[in-house]
Structure 1
Amino acid sequence: MHEPRTAVVIGRWLGAAFLICFATGLISHGLQDPPGWLRDHLPSRPVNGYRITQGLHVISGIAAIPLLGAKLWTVYPKLFVWPPARSVLQALERLGIVLLLGSALLELFTGLLNTLQWYPWPFPFRQAHFWLAWIAIGGLLLHIGAKAPEIAENWRRVREASPERRAFLTGVAVSVLTVTAVTAGQSVPWLRRLDLLAPRRPDLGPQGLPVNRTAAAAGTEITPTRANDWRLTVAGPRTYTLTLDELAALPQYTALLPIACVEGWSASAYWTGVRVLDLLERVGAPATARLRVVSLERYGSYRVTEMEASYAHDPLTLLALRVNGEVLAADHGYPARIIAPDRPGVLQTKWVSRLEVIA
């Protein structure tokens, strides 16, 4: 069970999980913090795009935990061979192992705690997670390059596997499938009944939706009794303000859209409100204009967000006033919040007070 063939089989599974996690993580990072060359090309469709990619990101990351444990158990006798390197090729292999193992362990550990919204470290999670992913992939490529001859030799089965190896690989596969089945329900609706270990149940919370950030945590104080003081300012070529009653008197649209969060959970709801497209047309914004969204919340990294033109001018993007037929609860962004297709939940700004056109 410590032979190269076993390590190659486990390595294929682990490599697939890493690559899926890496690719979907790049998508999430690009949507949250797009570089200049990408900003004008972000798609607002498919509607469930981010729900699928981020769900795969968390699912593959959790599946990689037992796979990494199995891989380490398979190869651990070779990790303590002395001297550690007898040639340049072996030294490169060892360097790849150090980079891969260290970054992979940190990546999976911090990513798992992120699904629980627990951050016991002093550094920013998203940026650290992003760069650790590049280090892990670099270490993986270096490791594959150094071990390529051995991998090629053991890629195909050359003889019947021993009962011990079959039992071990079956146990690993069952473990991965079990962990996936009892955690993926937070993003895969048909697995929701098995959602035993996932951090979130997407159908639990005010108005049937989870809440990551409450009104109290954000420092907002708008309640239905104080809504008369609230104004929405739309700043642009023809700046104007609207009261809540005036906003509610505008043409209202309903769309079935998901909330999909970076922690992996997602849930769909019927949102009703004013199309952002209509608000932009009224202010005289050009079709290529981006939008700055300002929230009433006092604390938090996403108090001010920017919305690319593809989202701002999508007819499904709403300044929502209601969810599932009910007036928004305070924790869901009362009196108004952004809801847009194919967008990370952290950018679906709640407690909106101002929209600014960015030419």
Structure 2
Amino acid sequence: MKRLNSQLQNDGAPLELILLIRTLLAGCKEISFRVSQGALAGVLGSTLSENVQGETQKKLDVISNQILKDILSESGYVKAISSEEEDDVVGCNPDGNYLVSFDPLDGSSNTEINSLIGTIFSITHAPQWMEPNDPSAFLQPGTQMVAAGYVLYGPSTMLALTTGRGTHIYTLDKTHGGFLLTHPNVKVPEQTKEFSINASNQRHWEPSMQSYINDLLAGEEGPRGKNYNMRWVAAMVGDIHRLLCRGGIFMYPYDKRDPAKPGKLRLLYEANPMAFLMEQAGGLADTGDGRILEVMPTEIHQRVPVLIGSKEEVETCLSYKSK
């Protein structure tokens, strides 16, 4: 099986970007080990503090964030980082050529039940005229990303990665510590019979989304003419991994509860990297009002609605808005 370095070289990634990705993944391997220790290492449970999102931090959130912050800051390749767990951007090397954004532990509430969790990340070029602690450096549309991916901490530790030349999935071989290419050039089926959504929020959706979901639930007797299954992991990494492997549609649609938070998922840390991976695998990623990767961020913790997955199903979902 091909090693990560070889595939990145084949995809034309520059040496410094390859070294940065390897550095980031070294941190993810450390997180994978900490996650696998669980209660044995006393890393489960919550802290007494909240992050900038107003969410109670899990111990593993804090540990994972610190691991990535330390290893990226010391690498020399990174000018600044932004994290879902940090109030502001963190300046690193003034001469660094890259910016890294990440959700250090997506789905961290699943740690208590030993279910799927993961790390999501994206990499962009750093504007050289900006100071390392200037948050406006991160206000770039997703089309400017040079790499994005996630590491899934499941029965196997797996990496999904793109540098703009397709989406590849790797598996961590713990016998030698390297990621090996196990699923090259992943292609998401254009059609599907599976959907992922937090149905408990239905009363807060727009009428068009409620109509769409009702038609899916109507099955063969409904207007879609086929039976759908609903799957929900409660960790975006788990749901998107399933979509990359066998298709489907994942939705966290517009929510009318708080106009300041039209979506739950963060643009920089979740929506953009997953959209890049999905598009490179032949799928679609939209907010309901346009392509996710074309959204111009206004602040580093901005949230957006997300509709992502198999091309035909996302297009059908979007068509309900015009009915």
TM-score range, shorter chain: under 0.3
Larger Rg: 1
More strand by share: 2
Q: Greater RCO between the two (CA within 8 Å, min separation 6)?
A: 1
Give me the TM-score of the superposition, normalised by structure 2. Answer: 0.25
More helix by share: 1
